A and B are shown apart, each in its own frame.
Chain A
Amino acid sequence: MDNIRNFCIIAHIDHGKSTLADRLLQITGVVGDHEFRDQMLDTMDIERERGITIKSQSVVLPYTGRDGVQYRLNLIDTPGHADFSYEVSRALVACEGALLVIDASQGVQAQTLANFYMALEQDLEIIPVINKIDLPAADVELVKTQIKKDLGLDPESAVAISAKEGVGIEEVLEAIVHLVPPPKGDPAAPLKALIFDSHWDPYRGTIVNLRLFDGEVKPGDMIRFMFNNASYKVEETGVFLIARQPRPKLCAGEVGYIIAGIKTVSDTRTGDTVTLADRPCAEALKGFQLVKPVVFSSFYPISSDDYEELAVALEKLKLNDASLTFEKDHSTALGHGFRCGFLGLLHLEVVQERLEREFDLSLILTAPSVQYLIGFKDGQEIIIDNPAKYPDPMLVAYAKEPFIRAAIITPEQYLGAVITLCIERRGVQKEMKYLDTSRVELVFDLPLAEVLFDFYDRLKSISRGYASFDYEFLEHRTTDLVKVDILVATERVDALSMLVHADRAYSRARRSCERLKKEIPRQLFKVPIQGAIGGKIIARETISPLRKDVTAKCYGGDITRKKKLLEKQKEGKKRMKQVGNVSIPQSAFLAVLKTDEEE
């Protein structure tokens, strides 16, 4: 156990976390120089492109220290987005230390701080790593001052490196060996292990990534998941060297995986504790939460023939993503689909992209919604996340919407803009304090619905990326909720309905109508597009009828070309949804979801 070090890398985006991880894999010989970059910790294309890590994974780096001792360094990768903050916190629990990477030309930034605080909360040994010292704009001394002042860490412990050029990587390894404490724990005690990740393998079932705190586990053991008491017999234990490496057993302090023929992904929850069925530990590790989806949207296949395929695809995604929920849904306009629940909008987008890319599906999404609490006059209460389920307003006594408490840290010069943004979003200021002369921490209570959409992006853009943001759920609070319907050619399109705060109803309705007008191609007849609350029209646009759609000439009897054009036109039509008499393209549904800034 003394030779084990469990650590993670945390950083502000683009400061070089992935590049450093690559270097560590390379220098410890886990990946050869040739396969470099192809393998890496996060394997999904979409994560690659978006520069985010969603599924955390781990890898063992074998390292012989300058002291001649052979160490096993377990690198645990962490997700890098606020939607997944719970997953990040669980991954941190699995470690004793963290490398905090800071760009030498940028210095300490918002996410540096946010990540730093999270690591501090878990009592991790934090090693500052000053990266990109090869850059002409690198200012190592300045960054050291910030490390002392902003983070309160000893600047002398910082390692200066260039991940790109491979400078100082060994020093990083030495720092891990000497500064990060070896894991503590009792190998003889009953098994107590933390699930920090799991993923699905079509041949082996669920692969559970664990950090063992006490005890040991080996093939043949009966294990138990403490949150639901499900038991399984362990088939294989091992560690990750990028690929799985079976090992006869895993012991206290180690990081590795188990395979136990687990077919139901919902049994393995991040943050849950695994123990032995016949010799359970006294109590579970603290901090386990069942992550619940907070934003909901319906997914419909453009072609109703693809419904079955969508069902299969969602099942498959769910195997790797316990936080994704879905159930059957039906829309008059769009037919059969699924109501899906997500941890946040990024999660939604990732799922959508994977469905479209990996499963080749064309989808229509409805406007994302949070969960509202509706109280009836007869005293009953229901929860709805789907505008289609909104009851007759005459029967409704009150509605409540979810609120969050947001902590925002911003440099002082952006304070005004940040406060304005929060107030625009119906926020209520709770607290404001100066962390030092230049940085301010703001606490606001905000409706989740207002934060979900583009709040984070707006915050980043008005603060040039410097403001950091973190939130926790508060409660449902009374709100003035209305349902806005969209009518196309006087027919209500249920999939376009949305639940919004009354103050927002007019502008949202107007914007939706304008966007639909832009996206829906002209039809044979005039098409009015209306926004309505109940029977009252609050916005209106009109698409004038199509007048010309004609091929003028067939050169020299070239009918083939003409037919090809007609076929193309017909294909295009197939990608549209027929709603009543009107063909609505997928792009129209997407346009309605877009935020103002994307215009």
Chain B
Amino acid sequence: MRDFSPVFPREEASLGIYVHVPFCRTRCHYCAFSTSPYDVSAVERYITAVKREIELWSREPSLQELLSDFGADTLYFGGGTPSLLEPRQIQELLEACQQVFPFARNPEITLEINPATADASKVRGMRDAGLNRASLGIQSFDDTELAAMGRPHTVEDALRTFDDLRRAGFDDISLDLIGGFPGQTRESARRSLRAAIDLGPEHVSVYLLEVKEGSRLDAMIRSGQILAPDEDLAADIYLDVCSSLAEAGYAQYEISNFAPEGHRSKHNLKYWRDRPYLGLGPAAHGMTGRARYANAADVAAYERNVNEDRLPAGTFMDFTPDIRFREALIMGLRLVEGLDLVKLGERYRVDARAFVLETIGDLESAGLFVLSRDHLALTARGRLLSNIVFTRWV
């Protein structure tokens, strides 16, 4: 499970590192994540535990081998709400990573920020700590919609945080928006998008709403408190988003992600490009090249593990070449550029084209993808219906 050794298949890529920060002040209605309420002493314990986990990883020879050849080049603080942490705490984690993982020059270091969780001085502190990319969870530029989503901030809060980020020198900012939330209209979605473009961020993510089992939203829909989202409307909104962003210079490069060349998320690309990454912190996921693992999601269980000198992976799944090949297809096709089937086939010693024809050939007439001799990519329609294609590969 901990084996990062490069024998199968050969990895020739730098490592990405993801640090999960599981705290939130309140819970958004659409969220089904395991998050913990924010409290000062819990955060201190958490910092100590993650530092121990980093220490434990430093003793893994296969990881060290991979790192000594290729190093790490991205670090991503995600959540939860990492911006609830103090800059000093982020810095502590960052330094602990730097001590153990040799970073390439100019690594991409991202922090997810929720509006109204960091003021100007905190944002400056984060910048000083070494963060160079910010992902701001605005979700909507409409206060009524934000309230309906259970987001604990207003549009004004978001604008202020964006401003603070710019002032602090962040020149690589991504904005997150949600499309297809109940109550949203094509018009209101357009307005939010316009407002986002007007701010001039370097990167935009638009996530179509998923009603997750166990979320408050799910319960509200089941009890009839609110109407289930209209899927056709969501599709319209999505298509609007793609064309407006393209016009504004944000080329779509993944199902939910838009940015001009040079501003794509290096870290997230690792997920889509079948590259290994290390996940640290409770509920974090990692991929070693030979296996996937998930750390214990429960903060207490996570801490118990590391305090007893055990890596806290609760579940893991060993790859077979076939499983990894299928995952590479599923993840890779999310990218607009698609997949080089020849390379992929060589990597996993399969006839990738034949496999594709056999498993999804019948869908070709539906216009979900284009398949040439050595290349496969989803069409715009195919991206909206990508699960139809992907279910063929699980």
Are B385 and A570 within 8 A (Cβ)? no
Contact of A555 with B33 in the complex, beta carbons under 8 Å: yes
A560–B271 contact, CB under 8 A?
Answer: no
Q: List the B residue with the shortest CB-CB distance to A564.
A: B394
| Residue contact B384 to A558, C-beta cutoff 8 Å | no
Contact A549 B387 (CB under 8 A): yes
CB-based contact A557/B327 at 8 Å: no
- What is the minimal beta-carbon distance from A349 to any residue of chain B, in angstroms? 28
How distant is the Cα of A599 from the Cα of B255 in the complex, in angstroms? 40
Question: How distant is A558 from chain B, measured CB to nearest CB, in Å?
Answer: 5
Q: How far is the CA of A528 from the CA of B14 in the complex (A)?
A: 52
Assess whether A559 is interfacial by the CB under 8 Å rule.
Answer: yes
Confirm or deny: A547 has a beta carbon within 8 angstroms of a beta carbon on chain B.
Answer: yes
- Check B331 for interface membership: any CB of A closer than 8 A: yes
Which residues of B sit under 8 angstroms from A503, Cβ to Cβ? none
| Contact yes or no, B286 A550, CB < 8 A | no
A290 in the interface, Cβ–Cβ < 8 Å? no
B208 contacts A549, CB within 8 Å?
no
Q: Residue of A at shortest CB range from B388? A: A549
Contact (Cβ within 8 A) B255 A550: yes
A438 contacts the other chain (CB 8 A)? no
Number of A interface residues, CB 8 Å? Answer: 26
- Residues of B304-323 contacting chain A, CB below 8 A: 315, 317
What per-residue 1/0 map shows which CB atoms of A540-557 lie under 8 Å from chain B?
000010111111111111
Q: What residues of chain B lie closer than 8 Å to A560, measured between beta carbons?
A: 285, 292, 294, 315, 317
Question: Does B83 interact with chain A (Cβ within 8 Å)?
Answer: no
Is B235 in contact with chain A by the CB < 8 A criterion? yes
Q: In the complex the two chains form, what is the Cα distance from A560 to B286 in whole Å?
A: 10
CB distance from B75 to the nearest CB of A (A): 13
Report the minimum CB–CB distance from B99 to chain A (whole Å): 22
Would A549 and B386 count as touching, CB distance under 8 A? yes
How many Å from the CB of B11 to the closest CB on chain A? 15
| Dominant secondary structure of chain B at its interface with chain A | mixed
**Seed contacts A566-B394, A567-B394, A570-B391; 9 additional CB < 8 Å A-B pairs:** A546-B388, A547-B232, A550-B384, A550-B387, A552-B208, A554-B271, A560-B285, A560-B317, A567-B391
**Set of chain B residues within 8 Å of A556, measured between Cβ atoms:** 18, 20, 76, 78, 279, 283-285
**With A554-B271, A557-B286, A558-B285 in contact, is A548–B294 under 8 Å at CB?**
no
| A585 CB to nearest B CB, Å | 16
Contacts of B205 in A (CB 8 A): 553
Query: Which single member of A549, A558, A562, A567 contacts B294 (CB below 8 Å)?
Result: A558
A246, chain B: closest CB distance, angstroms: 56
- What's the minimum C-beta distance from A599 to chain B, rounded to whole angstroms? 18
| B279 partner residues in chain A, CB cutoff 8 A | 556-557
A276–B284 CA distance with the chains assembled, in angstroms: 79
B287 within 8 A of A: yes
Q: Inside 8 A of A553's CB, which chain B residues have their CB?
A: 205, 207, 256
The 29 sampled A-B contact pairs (Cβ below 8 Å) are: A524-B363, A524-B388, A525-B366, A546-B385, A547-B232, A550-B255, A550-B386, A551-B387, A551-B390, A552-B210, A552-B255, A553-B256, A555-B78, A556-B18, A556-B279, A556-B283, A557-B270, A557-B285, A559-B292, A560-B285, A560-B294, A560-B315, A560-B317, A566-B390, A566-B393, A567-B391, A569-B387, A570-B391, A573-B391
Residue of B271, B286, B391 near A569 (CB, 8 A) is B391
Q: Which residues of A contact B231 (CB under 8 A)?
A: 546-548
CA distance A437 to B394 in the complex (A): 72
Residues of A within 8 A of B390 (CB): 551, 566
Taking a contact as CB atoms under 8 Å apart, the answer to whether A557 and B208 are in contact is: no
Contact with A548, one of B208, B283, B284, B393 (Cβ below 8 angstroms):
B208
List the 8 shortest-distance A-B pairs measured between CB atoms, nearest first: A552-B207, A547-B235, A548-B235, A549-B387, A566-B394, A570-B391, A558-B285, A557-B271
Report the minimal beta-carbon distance from B85 to chain A, rounded to whole angstroms. Answer: 16
Q: Does B258 count as interface, using CB distance less than 8 angstroms?
A: no
Q: Is A286 an interface residue, CB under 8 A from the partner? A: no
Give the complex CA separation of A549 and B33 in angstroms. 21
Q: How far is the CB of A555 from chain B (nearest CB, A)?
A: 7
Rounded to whole Å, the gap between the CB of B333 and the closest CB of chain A is 12
Which of B12-34 touch A at CB < 8 Å? Answer: 18, 20, 33
Distance to closest chain A CB from B373 (angstroms): 25
B232: chain A residues at CB < 8 Å are 544, 547-548
Is A563 an interface residue when CB atoms closer than 8 A count as contact? Answer: yes
Answer whether residue B234 sits at the interface, using C-beta atoms and an 8 A cutoff: yes
Chain B residues within 8 Å of A547, by CB: 231-232, 235, 384-385
- Would you call A549 and B317 a contact (CB within 8 A)? no
Interface check B383, CB cutoff 8 A: yes
> Which residues of chain A have C-beta atoms less than 8 A from B210's C-beta?
551-552
A562 partner residues in chain B, CB cutoff 8 A: 330
CB distance from A210 to the nearest CB of B (A): 55
Whole-angstrom distance between the alpha carbons of A547 and B238 in the complex?
11
Contacts A548-B384, A550-B385 known; A559 to B327 CB distance under 8 Å? yes
Return the CB mask of B137-159 against A: 1 if under 8 Å, else 0. 00000000000000000000000
Q: Does B277 contact A (CB under 8 A)?
A: yes
Report yes or no: A550 in contact with B383, Cβ–Cβ below 8 A.
yes
Residue ID in chain B nearest A553 by CB atoms: B207
Q: Of residues 510 to 530 in A, which have CB atoms within 8 Å of B's CB atoms?
A: 524-525
CB 8 Å contact bits of B342-386 with A (1 = contact, 0 = none): 000000000000000000000100101000000000000001111
* Chain A residue contacts of B292, Cβ below 8 A: 559-560
Q: Write out the residue numbers on chain A whose beta carbons fall within 8 Å of the beta carbon of B394.
A: 563, 566-567, 570
Chain A residues with Cβ under 8 A from B383's Cβ? 550
> With a CB–CB cut-off of 8 A, which chain B residues contact A563?
327, 330, 394
Chain B residues within 8 Å of A570, by CB = 391, 394
A-side contacts of B317, CB under 8 Å: 560
Q: Do A549 and B284 have beta carbons less than 8 Å apart? A: no
How far, in Å, is B2 (CB) from chain A's closest CB? 17
Q: Which B residues lie within 8 Å of A546 (CB)?
A: 231, 385, 388
Please tell me which one of the listed residues B76, B256, B391, B393 contacts residue A552 in the complex, with CB atoms under 8 A apart: B256
Query: Which A residues lie within 8 Å of B20 (CB)?
Result: 556
Other-chain contact of B385, A549, A554, A557, A566 (Cβ < 8 Å) = A549
User: Nearest A residue to B230 by beta-carbon distance?
Assistant: A548
Which residues in A have their C-beta under 8 angstroms from that of B384?
547-550
How far, in whole Å, are A555 and B33 apart by their CA atoms in the complex? 9
Most buried by B among A548, A555, A560, A570: A548
Q: Residues of A contacting B287 with CB < 8 Å? A: 557, 559
Inside 8 A of A551's CB, which chain B residues have their CB?
A: 210, 386-387, 390
Minimum C-beta distance from A574 to chain B (A) = 11
Q: Which of B207, B285, B330, B331 has the most CB of A within 10 A?
A: B285
Q: How far is the CB of B180 from chain A (nearest CB, A)?
A: 8
* Residue in chain B with minimal CB distance to A567: B394
Residue of A nearest to B286 (CB): A557
Let me know if B18 and A557 touch, CB within 8 A. yes
Residue of B nearest to A551 (CB): B387
Residues on B with C-beta less than 8 A from A550 are 208, 255, 383-387
Tell whether, in the assembled complex, residue A559 and residue B78 are in contact, meaning their CB atoms are under 8 Å apart. Answer: no
* Contact partners of B330 in chain A: CB under 8 A: 559, 562-563, 566
Q: Name the interface residues of B254-284: CB closer than 8 Å to any CB of A.
A: 255-256, 270-271, 277, 279, 283-284
CB-based contact B387/A557 at 8 Å: no
Residue contact B391 to A566, C-beta cutoff 8 Å: yes
Docked pose: A551 CA to B208 CA in angstroms: 8
Chain B window 25-45, contacts with chain A (Cβ cutoff 8 Å), 1 for yes, 0 for no: 000000001000000000000
Alpha-carbon distance A550/B363, docked complex (angstroms): 16
Q: Within the complex, what minimum Cβ distance (angstroms) separates B228 from chain A?
A: 13
Q: Report chain A residues within 8 Å CB of B386.
A: 549-551
Which residues of the partner chain B approach A552 to less than 8 Å between Cβ atoms?
207-210, 255-256
Query: Which residues from chain A contact B387 at a C-beta distance below 8 Å?
Result: 549-551, 565-566, 569
Report B-chain residues with C-beta under 8 Å of the C-beta of A569.
387, 391
- In the assembly, what is the distance between CA of A562 and CA of B331, in Å? 10
| Whole-angstrom CA separation of A555 from B282 in the bound complex | 13
Q: How far is the CB of B198 from chain A (nearest CB, A)?
A: 23
* Bound-state Cα–Cα, A425 to B197, Å: 66
